Amino acid sequence: MTSALPEGGKDGFRARQVTRPRAQVEQQLKEAILRGTFGQGERLPPETELAHQFGISRPTLREALGALASAGLIHRVPGVAGGNFVNSVTPASLSKMLSEAMTTILRLGSLSVDEIAEVRGLLEIPAARAAATNRSAADISEMSRIIERDRLATVDDGRSVDCGLSFHAAVGHASGNRLLAAFTSAVHAACISAGSLDVTPEFAKAMVEQHAQILAAVEAGDPDAAATAMSRHLSQVPRHSATPTPIEEP
């Protein structure tokens, strides 16, 4: 039987002692986070306090906290002023989390470059189509700025790849769908992080012109032309793909 503990803790949150410790502690804290009892960016109570409230050992509590961290709900900050903090969940943080996960499995060899390229098409062609309908003046201005910056970049200084990621992220943003934008950026970033894009000077130059064609169609409000331009651009990417950098054994 469980019982509510009256003492301590943040107002609105009272830990209940548990009979299946790790799973139930994880569930209680997860529900508290999702209800907003612990807000985004807020630090959870100290581990000693939580362990006492739940009536469990600190190792068991840490297992539950580890599961929450793996789920992307919290992160641990070391040091005297550290602790366990609730993650700020935004489209940008979602994109980062997805990108890191895809990069890992890509480099482990559990995911292929061809699969990544296929998913890019499934996401980015509809994103370009939607961008032609939903883009704002600010979106057009941002894409134009990125292209102009990319014209001045070189492969050696690394900005060319960054500009490419920025442009595709801007197209995703212009689609008007934040989840689509997050997935689009995540897939593209995974390709870059895993070293699966071998950008030559010739391809970098061609990429800028292809981006300009996408922008022209988006700015003109022509969904079909935007989708066609994006499809043509993505069809060139696999020809300039390198083998992902493997994760070395320690």
For 233-250, write each residue's pLDDT tens digit: 998 875 555 444 444 444
**What's the distance, CA 231 to chain centroid?**
23
Neighbours of 227 (CB within 10 A): 21
Checking if the pLDDT of 89 tops 80, the result is: no
Checking if the pLDDT of 2 tops 50, the result is: no
Q: Which helix (H) or strand (E) holds 4?
A: none
For 165-178, write each residue's pLDDT tens digit: 899 999 999 999 99
Share of the chain above pLDDT 90, in %: 47
Q: Check: CB of residue 5 under 8 Å from CB of residue 16.
A: yes
Checking if the pLDDT of 156 tops 80, the result is: no
Every domain of the chain with CATH number 1.10.10.10 lies at 21-86
- CA gap 24, 12 in Å, rounded: 18
Checking if the pLDDT of 7 tops 90, the result is: no
Domain spanning 91-240, CATH class:
mainly alpha
Higher pLDDT, 160 or 68: 68
Every domain of the chain with CATH number 1.20.120.530 lies at 91-240
CATH hierarchy code of domain 21-86: 1.10.10.10
Average pLDDT over residues 78-87: 90
For 195-209, write each residue's pLDDT tens digit: 555 667 777 788 889
> Which residue shows structure tokens 């003109």?
220
Q: Check: CB of residue 95 under 8 Å from CB of residue 187.
A: no
- φ, ψ of residue 241 to 5 degrees: the values are -100, 140
Reading the block at residue 19, the tokens are 């009979």
**What's the distance, CA 29 to chain centroid?**
23
Q: Give which of 128, 147, 124, 121 is closest to 212, Cα–Cα.
A: 147
Reading the block at residue 93, the tokens are 């943080």
For 58-67, write each residue's pLDDT tens digit: 999 999 999 9
Checking if the pLDDT of 102 tops 50, the result is: yes
Neighbours of 152 (CB within 10 A): 11
Q: Give which of 2, 4, 93, 12 is closest to 45, Cα–Cα.
A: 12
